[in-house]
Structure 1
Amino acid sequence: MTVLWLVLLASLSAFNLGVFLWAVIQHFLNVEIPSSLKHPVKLRFLHCVMLYIIAVGNILEKLRICSMPRFIQSFHDLIVTKKNHNLVVTNMNFGTIPVRLFQPKAVSSKLRRGIIFCHGGGTICGSLDCYHNLCSCLAQETDSVVLSVGYRKLPDHHHPSVSKDCLNASIYFMKGLTTYGVDPSRVVVCGESVGGGILATVIQALFSFPSLPKICAQVLITPVMQLINFRLPSHQQNQNVPLLTKDIIMMSLCKYVDIDLSWKDAIFNGTCIPPDFWKKYRKWLSSDNIPRRFKSKSLLPESPGPFNETAYLETKQVLDAEISPLLIDDKIIAQLPQAFLVSCENDPLRDDTLLYKKRLEDQGVPVTWYHVEDGFHGCIILFDKQPFSFPCSMKIVDAVITYIKGI
């Protein structure tokens, strides 16, 4: 029996070593590290670990042992959340939606600012625990009540479950603001990555509930604002930059909207976009709206490839305005609250932020834009993860805190 266990242990170790070596080889074959990124060795290591976890998850999924998203999410249990003695942290449920409330312990003579927070992670990863320390930091440093929404994710829940959960949790919270010590005139939404895009759609949907208090500001950190044009300059320039590469984007998108991964090239190249659709929305989705300094001379043509009707029928849900808040009408955009938008130079989603910024400004919405030259997608979550934090991580956290404190 001892020999059997030793053989099993050796086999498992060899398997893990083999997969990790494969991840390292894939990383060095495909990944590009821009010169503006600081601590490249640290970033390479983190990306190799990410590729290893995804690879093991895919193997387990093919063996029908565990789905890849669920395997990744199992690592959430290993995250250690820091206790902040200046805050009262309460886990609760709004209906079936798990949420976490962060409230300063100190007595306040007036109602506090409220922040509705939605995390990133491409609906594959990310959790209340993953973003616990960030929400704790926001609550303490801005003296605000923070509601973190634990929306449903893959593999069991696809679009539109995420948006519905965030909208319903926001409505529930806003109906009882004073119960939580929140000033109804100072409610901010704050989201990162997919969470930022979801909150952009939530704000738009809240116009259908005129009895609720109005959101006073939107803080969107490297948000996903559209799932249509993947030939924007930032997608072409940063498609092989960690931690969010083209392959990871396409995998997350296809799983989120429940599309077979075989259609990823049609989505990326735009062959699934009907000509009349592109003609109608080009004014909002085109790189014509991107400042010249963000465009290199080596870019491929932006126009979608030859239209493939079969690809359109299989993937048409990506054209839904509910998951691409950039497509909403001007009359809605003009009513949106002031915005603080964060973009990172080495992020394939950089131009989503720039397009949204242009749309808001064209309709007279006040915008504060913070661009991080040495930033990359997802860096904010590493702000306190020593030794894996980056200078850009703390830059973004400090900028967000400064903006919110001014509201």
Structure 2
Amino acid sequence: MGVSHIKLNKRAANNVIKLAIVGFELQSKTAMDLFFMQHQGSYGLVSAEHADVLIIDMEHPAVKPIIEQYRDSRPIIAVTATENQFSGFETLRKPLDGKRLIKAIDQAVDNYATAGVASDQSTVNSVSSEGEKAFQEYQKRLATGRQAMADYKTLTSDRDLSSSQVRKRFQLDQENASVTPYKTVSDDGVASVETADSNAVESQQPVSAPVEAPVELKTAEKRPQDVKAKLSYQMVYECCGNAPDVDMHEPDQRRKVFFKEDSTLLGLLQQAIAEGEAQNVAVEITGLPGTLAYLNEHKKFMFDFSEDLLIPLALTRFGYQELTLKERPDLDLNRPSLTGSKVSLIESDEMIWKLALWTSKGRLNRDIDPEQPYRLTSPLDFDRLLVIPHATTISSLWGRHSLSALEVVKVLKIHQRYVFSFMTAAFALGVFR
């Protein structure tokens, strides 16, 4: 910390603070990126190695090594949705807004400079050599700053691509993509969520089988009732997001928690099931980077591309007639007739449940009234369905009582995002009344 005053003096001359954004979800990081691009004269976004100030999402479990590495060499802004205070850092509560973020950056820089000057005064004999070294390092950062900013912009991708771009990218990736097993439980290969909101819950994976005649279905092994694997942070984020709770009585905040099912893959899946049952024929959803079809006779979905691609597809808004339904009487469980080298088979309720969670990502289907009481008409089988934090508790409560989503949040004292994701998925399965 003895070199902070040199960094700040150089910053005053250059008038640009180099920032690194660490641990945030893509949507938040993209929003911050756009915000700081509007203030390029004062702030620049670079990697953590080249940054003057680090902005860190403290709820992300992967940021701990970065904090340990840089806590004594950079000002750090600790962003949190909790009431925790982080000693030595400038603490900033979610949700973020531009004015508070800029104020926190300035405060972090000033506090760090003050601490650095005090440290310098107590180590007079070492200031000269440390300061000279820091100055040289900073000069190197000046030389590489613009390149780092360009690299950052190149590497920062936006998952809200147009659907045509999504399909093109997926088709290119498909050459090397493999079907990800998604149904067996691993107790030691999955990172745990290091937050108070995270329950140790089951990680599930889809069945995959080579295209052969016949296609053999694999059944998930039953685990002991008291053995549960832990969901990774990434899986929880994909299903529930990490947005903070909002005031549902404020119209501007309330709008943030809803999404339209129209023009989503989830909506097409439900239409495929309805048409397949009505026409008694297999139905394919065309326009995707591979074949995805509903086999009405077996109540299963079949697809020949990696399930990893379903996650961004679930968040994509498709244009008019970009995805269509096509009857496929040639598709059969024992004669798939697919072009891919491998196919995956998954029960229709498992597929709908997963797609609804990924589409919701902590939001609520606009067709659902969060103040309207609901009750589950049938139990949910979490031996098969993808489990999210608090899923069994929410299911038990809604199975015994008729409650609104907001009442469930209040009774269980959990984040809205878990209840909204659960309710959207259960609503998609049609198990609410």
Shorter-chain TM range is: under 0.3
Structure 1 length as normaliser, TM-score? 0.24
- Please identify the structure whose Cα radius of gyration is greater: 2
